[in-house]
Amino acid sequence: MKKSIVFLVLILLLSITGVHAEDGYNIDEEYSLRMANVIPERDHIGQACNKFAELVEEKTNGKIDVTVFHGGQLGSGRETYEAVQQSFIDIAGDSYANLYTLSPIFEAFHLPYMFESREQQLEAYQNEEIREYIDNELSKKNLKWLMTLEFGPRQIGTINDPVKSVSDLDGMQMRASRSPTEISTYEAWGASAVTIDWPEVPESLRLGMVDGEAVSYDAFWSANHHEGLINYITETNFQSYGYALVVNYDWWESLPENVQKALDSSAREAEKWHVNMLTEHVNMNIREMREEGVEIRQLPEEEYLRFKDKARDQVWDKFIGDTVNQEFLDLIQSEIGEPGPYEDRWYFEH
C-alpha cells in the first residue's frame, strides 16, 4: 500500500513540475533560428511571436533557439517573405495580404465579408482540410504555412472626416496593402487606394498623402496611429485578415521529424494562447484610443449591409476563378457555417 502511495505521489510531482511526454523530442543538434516579425513587439501579435519562441525553447530544452526581430527590423512583410523563400531568413510573419506577390492563396480569406464573425474566421484557420489545401499551394512557391494569428477585422480610420455611411468614402484616398481584394473594395465604395508598405504608413498619414487607412483596432493602437494621426474609426469589419508565419518548404522538409513536431506543436499552442488573450487586449486598445480622443462608431445593421452588399457585388466576381480558386472558396464556405446574430459576431466592448 505504501509503495502504491509513493508511486502516485511521484506521478503527481512529475505532472506538477511540467515533465510532459510531448516535451521529450530528443533533439541532438542545436538550431539557432532568425524570425522576422513586421509588427511591433508590444502588439498582441508580437507577444504571440515571443510566446512561440518561448515554447520552442521550453519544448526542446534549449536545443532550438528562436530570436525574434520585431517591428520590421529585417524588412517589410514582402521583403521578409521573399527572404524566407530564398533561405536568407528562417521564419517570417506579416499580414497574409502581403504574401500575395508570392502566392494568391490567402486572397480567398481576404474577400470582403468572407468572414462575418470570429467563429467563422477561427474555423478557417484551424480546419485541417483548409490548412492542407493552403499548404499544398504554398509548397509550389517553396513556402510552408507554420502559424496563423488573428489581427481582427479591418476598421476604417480617417484623419479629418468620420465615415458614417458608405457614400462618405467617395473621393477619399485610402492607404492599402498589396492585396488586390482590399484595393478593389475601396474602389467599390468610391475611394481610391494607395499602396503603401506598413513601415511607411505613419509618414504618409502625417503628410496627408492619404485620407485614412483600414486596419484592425490593435494595429491602430500598437503603431500609435491614434496619437495625432487617426481621429475617427468606423467599425465596418469588412476584411477579417490575419497574420501568417511561414518557413522555407525545402528547409522544413530537410528537418528531422522530431524538430518538425517541436516547431509545429509550439505553433499550435501559441495560436491557442493568442485566441485566449486577444479579446482583453483589443478591448483595452479601444478604451485607450477613446481616452486619447479618437471617435469610434459602430454601424447600424442596415448601413453595415450597404457596405457589405456593395463590396460583395463588385469585388467577389472580379476575383473568383482567377485570383480566388472556386474549389477552395467552396471548401471554406462549407466549413465555416453561418455568422450568427449581428450584435454577437465579434468580441468588441462599447
Answer whether residue 13 shows pLDDT above 80: no
User: What average pLDDT does the chain have?
Assistant: 91
Amino acid at residue number 197: D
Decide: helix, strand or coil at residue 39: coil
- For residue 9, pLDDT beyond 50: no
Least Cα distance to 126 among 252, 274, 308, 262 occurs for 274
What pLDDT does residue 10 have?
A: 40
Digit-coded pLDDT (tens) for 14-58: 443 343 434 568 898 999 999 999 998 988 999 999 999 999 999
**343 contacts: CB under 8 Å, gap ≥ 6:** none
> Which among 97, 60, 64 has a CA at the least distance from the CA of 197?
97
Residue 160, classified by CB atoms within 10 Å of its CB into exposed (0-12), middle (13-18) or buried (19+), is exposed
Residue pointed to by grid coordinates 469610434: 296
The three-state secondary structure class of 69 is strand
For residues 335 and 123, the answer to whether their CB atoms sit within 8 Å is: yes
DSSP 151: E
Q: If you average pLDDT over residues 298-312, what whole number do you get?
A: 97
Alpha-carbon distance of 255 to 246, in angstroms, equals 15
Domains and CATH numbers, the chain: 28-151+241-282 (3.40.190.170), 155-239+288-322 (3.40.190.170)
